[in-house]
Amino acid sequence: MRVMLGNLVLQFDEGFGMFLNAFYILLFAILIFYGQRIQFHLSMMEMGGILKQLFFMASHARKTSLDEIKKYSDDPNIEEKMDRLLNSFVIFPESMDPAGIVKKVEHIMNVREARFLEDVRRMITKEIDESRLWNYSNMLEATLVLNLIYKVIEHYYLLAKKTKNFFLMAQLQMIVPLIFNEAKSYLLAIEAFRLGTPIGDTIGPYVVHKLLNDGKTEIIEKKTDYTKDTDLYIAERNNRRIYVIKARGPGGNVGKPGEAIKKVLSRAKKSNEKIAGIIMIDAALKLEGEKTGTVAEGVGAAIGGIGVEKFKIEEAATKYSVPLYAIIIKQSIAEAISTMKKEIVDSTSEVIRRIDRILNNELEEGSVVIAGIGNTIGVP
C-alpha cells in the first residue's frame, strides 16, 4: 500500500493492514475485559488525590486551631487534650419509639454542648474572655467536622480499594465533589471563628441588632440570659411593643431562641397580653442560580439546627395560635459559615424595611416577637 503525502511517499508492506486489524482487536479485547479495571484505577487515583487534599485540610485546620489555643495555654498535654476533643462523638437516642424523642435529643445535645465548652475551657490555662472561649469552641467544632469528613472518605476509599469494588469507588467519586466543597467551606469557617468575625449565618442576629440601634426603636428593658445564652429586649417600634430575641454575643453562640419564644408566649398568655405574630429572621441556603443576599419572605419557623428549637417554636405558636412569619437571606453553605460577605451585609436595610411593613400593615393589634436566628459571632 502507498500513501502520497506531498513530496513524500509512504510505502507500507503487505502485512500492515493485518497488523492494524490486530491492533484494534487487541484494543477492543483490552477494553472489554479490563475496561472496568482501568476505570477503577483511574477513579482510585483521582480519589487518592482528593483524599490527600482532605488530609491536608484536616491537618491545616488542626494546626491552626492548636497554634491559636496555645496563645492562651501553656498546658504540656494540650495536643493530647485537643485530639481527644477532635475524636469525640455523640450517640443519638433510640428512635424505634419516637414519642418524646425531642426531649431526649435536647438533653443529649445540651450535655454535649456543655461538655465540649468545658473541655475547651480546660485546655486554656491563661486568662481569656468568654467571647473568645466561645469562638474557640466554634473553631474546634469546625476542625472536628473536617477531621470527620477526612476519616469517613478515607474509610470508604480504603474499603473500595481493599474489596476492589468498582461501584463503591464510583459512588464515592460521584459524592466527593459535593463533600469536598463543604470541606473547603469549613476551612474558611475556621479562619472566621479564629478571628471572631461575623459569618453569613450571623445575619439574623445582625439584623435585629441593627433594628434595635437604628434610632427608631426605644429599648425599654434588656433581659440578659432570658434563656440559656439568649437575650431578650423589650422595646417599642412603630407604636408597637416588640420582644426582640437573639443569642448573647459577641462570642460564637446560637443560644436557645425556641425556649425564649416559648417563654415569651407563655408569659404573655398569663398576663393577657396579645401576641399578634412572630417574625423570624435567618440565613437560608440559596439555590445555585440565586444571588447571595437575596431576601425572601414566607411563613413557618425559619431556624436550622438539629430540630429541637424548631419543634419548640412550632409547638408554642400552635398552642397560642400565633402566626409565624419568616424572612430569609439567601447564601451558599460556604458563605453561611465564613466571614460575612458585603452582599449579605447590604441586605440588612431591605430586611428591616420588610419587618416594618409587616409590623405596620400585616399584623393585627398586639405585641410582636422578633427573633434573629443564627450564630451571633461578632455581634453583641
Partner 1 sequence: MNPTLLQIDSLDMFVVFTLAFLVILLLLMTMSRQEAKPRIVKPDIKTALICTSCGTKTIREFREGDYISKEADSEKCPRCGGPLVIDAIYTEQLPTKP
Query: CA dist 160 to 37, 42, 98, 151, Å?
Result: 13, 13, 35, 14
Per the DSSP assignment, residues forming a β-bridge with 281 are 327, 372
| Minimum CB–partner distance for residue 176 and partner 1 (Å) | 10
Query: Quick check: helix, strand or coil at residue 239?
Result: coil
| Minimum CB–partner distance for residue 111 and partner 1 (Å) | 29
| Minimum CB–partner distance for residue 77 and partner 1 (Å) | 27
**CB closer to partner 1 out of 12 and 167:** 12
**CB closer to partner 1 out of 116 and 180:** 180
**CB closer to partner 1 out of 298 and 380:** 380
Secondary structure in 3-state letters for 149-200: HHHHHHHHHHHHHHHCCHHHHHHHHHHHHHHHHHHHHHHHHHHHHHHCCCEH
**CB closer to partner 1 out of 290 and 314:** 290
| Minimum CB–partner distance for residue 244 and partner 1 (Å) | 15
| Minimum CB–partner distance for residue 148 and partner 1 (Å) | 18
Give me the amino acid identity at 202: T
| Minimum CB–partner distance for residue 13 and partner 1 (Å) | 5
**CB closer to partner 1 out of 206 and 325:** 206
**CB closer to partner 1 out of 94 and 288:** 288
| Minimum CB–partner distance for residue 206 and partner 1 (Å) | 7
Instruction: Give the C-alpha separation, 237 to 359, whole Å.
Output: 9
Per the DSSP assignment, residues forming a β-bridge with 370 are 244, 279
φ, ψ of residue 87 to 5 degrees: the values are -105, 10
Instruction: Give the C-alpha separation, 154 to 145, whole Å.
Output: 14
**CB closer to partner 1 out of 202 and 230:** 202
Cell of 261: 419564644
| DSSP 8-state code for residue 339 | B
Binding residues for partner 1 (CB under 8 A): 4, 7-16, 18-20, 22-23, 27, 38, 41-42, 45-46, 48-50, 52-53, 56-57, 60, 131, 184, 187-188, 191, 195-198, 206, 209, 213, 249-250, 334-335, 338-342, 344-345, 378-380
Cell of 241: 411593643
Instruction: Give the C-alpha separation, 280 to 269, whole Å.
Output: 20
Q: Which residue has the cell 429599648?
A: 219
**CB closer to partner 1 out of 61 and 322:** 61
| Minimum CB–partner distance for residue 47 and partner 1 (Å) | 9
Q: Using alpha carbons, select from 117, 120, 112 the residue that is nearest to residue 78.
A: 120
Measured between its terminal Cα atoms, the distance across the chain in Å is 85
Q: Are 183 and 149 in contact (CB under 8 A)?
A: yes
